[in-house]
Amino acid sequence: MKCKDILIFLHIYKNAGTTIKERYRKNKNYIFKHDDLEKIFLFPDLKYIQNLKNVFESIILAGHAVKFNNVLEENFNDANISYVTTLREPLERIVSAYNYYKFKLYTEHNIVSKIDIIEWFIIFKLESTIHLGGLFQYELFLNHIPLHKRSITLATEVIKKYNIKILFTDDKDWLNKFDNIVIEKNINCNPKIDEVHSNTSVSRSALIDNISINDLTLCKKNFLLKYLKDEYIFYNNMKEKYGNR
């Protein structure tokens, strides 16, 4: 057997990637575990890669560890390789990340956090750079580039070079569009249609107070928007170019 078709899903933090994971993870050729992705993108394991080639005719590689460094093209040089990702309205994404932070503290450490979103955001900026490769969505297309060299222009060039299909989570049909891409790219993966992921659906305790954009005071909203200026430039540019496709 020879792997002929590969779909790469770049999972940008807090951009509905877990929804896709839960929808497809039952497929053996849906590769999403971080350690497995590192064997391809970060520390290429030729034995592991060869095994994927021999076992599957088509695969989805999905996760935070996806990198645009041509490693995949060099090791799967005969396969049809396609890319897709999701973008989320920037302020909505930050609020979601804040709610998720409190959720994880409670479910994993039994800590009920009352941290203010502004205080959390200042900490999150530093943690994002260290652990996630950057705070902004555009930086995740550049996680193979040193932080001081990253720019919106360069991210746009990467998107164009790899012909990355962009879906927007505020489009009510975005998930169906993802399913259609899987079919169009000849990927033999079946979605679990009734699988819906939502951290807020189990808020999961009365002790955890999730907030929305509408709960932000004008002062807090303006503070966040100030730091999200570049993020909105990138997001709006992408929405203008790819939003109607």
Measured between alpha carbons, how far apart are the two ends of the chain, in Å? 34
How much is the pLDDT for 200? 47
Tens-digit pLDDT string for the chain (245 aa): 689 999 999 999 999 999 999 999 999 999 999 999 999 999 999 999 999 999 999 999 999 999 888 888 888 888 999 999 999 999 999 999 999 999 888 888 988 888 999 999 998 887 776 666 778 999 999 988 887 888 999 999 999 999 999 999 999 999 999 999 999 999 999 999 776 555 544 445 567 788 999 999 999 999 999 999 999 999 999 999 998 76
Q: Which domains does the chain have, with CATH numbers?
A: 5-242 (3.40.50)
Is the separation of the CB atoms in 97 and 124 below 8 Å? yes
DSSP the chain: ----EEEEEE--TTSSHHHHHHHHTTSTTEE--HHHHHHHHTS--HHHHHHHHHH-SEEEEEETT---SSHHHHHSTTSEEEEEEEE--HHHHHHHHHHHHHHHHHHHH-------HHHHHHHHHHHIIIIIS-SSGGGGGGTTS-GGG--HHHHHHHHHHTT-EEEETTSTTHHHHHHHHHHHTT------TT----SGGG---TT-----GGGS-HHHHHHHHHHTHHHHHHHHHHHHHHTT-
- pLDDT value, residue 130: 64
Gap between the Cα atoms of 211 and 36, Å rounded:
35
pTM: 0.90
Instruction: Tell me what pLDDT residue 194 has.
Output: 74
